[in-house]
Homo-oligomer: A and B are copies of this chain.
Amino acid sequence: MKVAVLSGGVGGARFLRALAETLDPADVTAVVNVGDDLEVLGLHVSPDLDSVLYALAGLDDEERGWGRAGESWHALETVAQLGGEDWFRLGDRDLGLHLVRTQALRAGEPLSAVTARLAAALGVRTRILPATDDPLRTRVETAAGLLDFQTWFVARGHRDEPDGFRFEGAESAAPAPGVLAALDQADLLLIAPSNPHVSVWPTLAVEPIRRALAERRVPCIAVSPLVGGRAVKGPADRMLARLSGGTSPAHVAACYEGLIDALVVDEADADDLDGLDVRAIVTGTLMTDAAARRRLAAAALGVAV
């Protein structure tokens, strides 16, 4: 069974890891959000691609939830001491990847090609594709003005209430090579338990990708990132409450209107299915350990464990 998965960062990365542990990893294609990519210290950083890459390579720091395990922070300590740009936490091991990727991008290699090389070097067989090789940047509309995603999320600690999002560059962005073919050839389409507004919508803002989901001939199943109406991590619940009218499974499904056939919801939300107009698949969705994440993957895949 071939699956294609729209994914954001941490939650998506864990889910992808579970899928790669359940299926043949070569049959899993991740289409990853690049809306929160940024340039920091002159380096191109792709936080979601890296979260996925590190998780699939088994290099991620599961406790911290981002970045690499066994990380050190000496370069950034120097940067801080020298008055440089230190607001975005880049570890030393992580920096090595950003240096290699930035140099390749500057030399004209597309992001998708660099990503494939990095994945191969780390022994990752799951295909990791950026949604697009073109610039696509999420900006957040707030009372404080239109903010770059990472300025809003990291530098200002997502304290400004979002009034909306813009996905700059999306209208002219082409899907990265391989994305449409993966969506077309998949036996099952999945949307990972990522933040709908800022981790999945930027990818869906690339019109040919949205169209591929809208015109699908195979089922598409989304996994809700909420547990009991609360985000496991990050501001997804606040966004849903403010911009989508609530945090029930129906509100999550509404973020993917016309694009999904089922929603995997947590047991904690099983009594809150009013208004949900797609099939509910109820299971434990917290990926607290390997067994739990594989249970979630199996539920999404419709496979008994």
Contact = CB atoms under 8 A, between A and B. Distances in A.
A248 to B, nearest CB: 43
A96 B118 contact: no
B72 A121 contact: no
B102 A78 contact: no
* Total identical chains: 2
Nearest to A100: B84
Nearest to A74: B92
A122 B81 CA distance: 8
B77 A96 contact: yes
Given A43-B99, A75-B96, A78-B94, 15 more contacts: A41-B100, A42-B42, A42-B99, A72-B74, A74-B74, A74-B92, A74-B96, A75-B92, A77-B93, A78-B96, A79-B96, A81-B121, A82-B118, A82-B121, A92-B92
A96 B122 contact: no
Which secondary structure characterizes the binding site on chain A?
A: helix
A106 interface: yes
A99 B84 contact: yes
Contacts of A281: none
- Which of A77, A85, A92, A117 has the most chain B CB within a 10 Å cutoff? A92
